[in-house]
Structure 1
């Protein structure tokens, strides 16, 4: 639920931003079409459902008129476009970069959208935004955190979330604070991450700041996303002797890792997760108490 509310605020901001583009009004005098590409099936489907729910709610708030302290709630439609309403066309990328790019192309050429948003997966955002850049269509990204996304020099790509570099540094600043204030002994970390651009970007950032703040990287384990067994990876984590484990996983993998931790009775001093699967609703529902005591970063607190 918390993620849905966060996404609602972001989406309202997205639509306010879109209304500032002249092209948005040029496509249709009374309606602005926006394409939203998210994982509606596959291992992150529950996260995709939360995001589509938030977007649908945001559209209802904007197109209607409500006495709410929210952007665009008290006016009907988009005031900068003479009250034009918003229509969102959803597409399912299934967590696959090639499908995400194909859906972006379809949205632009067939659905005639004025702008695109998405795609949660950094790897899918990478490919989908290439299509938008080629067609000179604005692409707004509220939640993908791979640092490379904004290092490509794109003119039509806009990201509203912070990225993994400052998140990674915050982890080590937090560990330093714990050592100083609580006298916790933490000298080493183990990084375990999936093998798409999200996970690899996280690993680069975490290794960078481990070095800067004087922590030993006892293990750097990359695994294939959507795994069916993580016994080998967890055994490597145990063998590394790391004080803290730092995972970067989407929902299904995060759930399986925590189940494997329990099955193998592996318990590091702390787990510092890079968001994603560790804050998903399915994670909480599936694991219950077995999913507790994981510390995760977030983009902001409501």
Structure 2
């Protein structure tokens, strides 16, 4: 009887050992299984009217993927290793599609990236209207969408769960300009403002934001609307009102207004374009642009920062071009998205979303002039994004604000242009 009992217990022990061994083996196998590549959908207008800008954005995304997939001595998360370490070194695989600059095509391409390509997330799509259309599709499917350059404030006010934006929107750009006003000394105090904006969506974005900020700060608003066919009337009206500063939607429109103002012998105290609106160069920035300011998301003047200079050198070696325009935004957006996927340790949409919400990307690891990347928990807008102010001097744009990183001193008020007074 004792022999049978002993045999029974030995059998149980052997069975239990085999069972535990199998469980441990399966558990280890499960935790070690990671995809070799992580598919990221990349949507930009690589044909049509925005082809040049779209192709530049794609170059930036491809460069960022290279920084992640290969090893670089950079103080940027994921650059020092190869691939995503928390996913077994999985590499980023880009699935690039052309939105053709069409919202309808953006919807179709987003659907393709999700249903056919099985992209874990999508980044794009440059123009605000295309971004709005594509993100409607990702919202419906529950796929993370990261936008790196669209500026419409409306995009993060839709109550969407899956849409994230890293760059400053028009609201944050306007807030930056008002912060600049606050930091001016008493001799240059801005007490009255004229907003000259048309009926376009971006113009209304700026006008609405600036009206709110002016009211909050107690500044007088002299004018807040001007159509392109009213330039002569506007110049005469503002000459009489003489506001401390005039803001316009773009630097291009500010140049046009100044040309008209000169004909009326009127030289504004200061003018700010809330965005560029042109390919700025010594050829395109003539005498009428001299002294004008423009709010910008990035500037080559930032190349004095060691990390940005180093990344620029690598980018130039890879593409033959220097960083410019919105390309740094695209690079940053891709790095932030990859960092979130790595922290999620998964391609599960919910886990990626939670990781994005928990993002705390430090300023010293950025090639942008921001205080970091931290998404608002309700709107998913990067609340640490901001713009800089550039001033046209001798035909080129110089960084004049924030004052602590300025490369040139601010000239204020404007030196009258030829024909002004």
Query: TM-score, normalising length from structure 2?
Result: 0.53
Shift of the 268–110 alpha-carbon distance from structure 1 to 2, 3 Å rule, reads farther
Aligned pair 1:234/2:231, yes or no? yes
- Equivalent in the alignment of 1:205: 209
Structure 1's 258 and 134: CA in aligned 2 closer, same or farther, altered over 3 A?
same
Partner residue of 1:245? 246
Deviation at 1:137, TM superposition (A): 0.8
Name the CA distance, whole Å, in 2 between partners of 1:292 and 1:48: 30
Q: Residue 62 of structure 1 aligns with which residue?
A: 68
Provide the C-alpha distance between the structure 1 equivalents of 2:226 and 2:121, rounded to a whole number of angstroms. 37
Residue 169 of structure 2 corresponds to residue 163 of structure 1: yes
Give the superposition deviation at 1:166: 3.6
Partner of 1:284: 281
Aligned to 2:291: 293
Q: Larger Cα Rg: Structure 1 or Structure 2? A: 2
With 146-155 and 77-86 compared, the bigger mean Cα shift is at 146-155
d(CA) in 2 for partners of 1:207, 1:58: 38
Partner of 1:80: 86
Instruction: Verify: 1:221 aligned to 2:236, yes or no.
Output: no
1:115 pairs with 2:113: no
Backbone CA RMSD of aligned residues:
3.1
Structure 2 CA distance for partners of 1:166 and 1:259, relative to 1, 3 Å: closer
Q: Which has the higher contact order (CA 8 A, sep 6+)?
A: 2
Q: What SS is found at the alignment partner of 1:174?
A: helix
Runs (5+) with no aligned partner, structure 2: 1-32, 298-367, 371-421
Taking the TM superposition and a 5 Å limit, the aligned residue runs for 1:10-49 are: 29-41=35-47, 44-49=50-55
Shift of 1:58: 0.8
Q: Is the 8 A contact 2:70 2:79 kept in 1?
A: yes
| Offset from partner CA, 1:184-235 (integer Å, 9 cap, x none) | 5652312325623x3332221112112223221413236xxxxxxx4x1533
Provide the residue aligned with 1:260 in structure 2.
256
TM normalised by structure 1 equals 0.72
Q: Compute the displacement of 1:133 (Å).
A: 0.5
**The 10-residue stretch of structure 1 (48-57 or 284-293) with the greater mean CA deviation from structure 2:** 284-293
Q: Are the equivalent residues in 2 in contact too, given 1:210–1:217 (CA < 8 A)?
A: no
Provide the secondary structure at the position in 2 that maps to 1:189: strand
Residues 285, 133 of structure 1: CA spacing in aligned structure 2 closer, same or farther, 3 A cutoff?
farther
Match of 2:194 in 1: 189
Contact 1:273 1:296 survives alignment (8 Å): yes
Give the 3-state SS of the residue equivalent to 1:35 in structure 2: strand
C-alpha change, 1:164 and 1:258, in structure 2 (3 Å) is: closer
> C-alpha separation between the residues in 2 aligned to 1:71 and 1:233?
51
- Which residue number corresponds to residue 137 of structure 1? 143
Rounded Cα–Cα distance in structure 2 between residues aligned with 1:274 and 1:239:
22
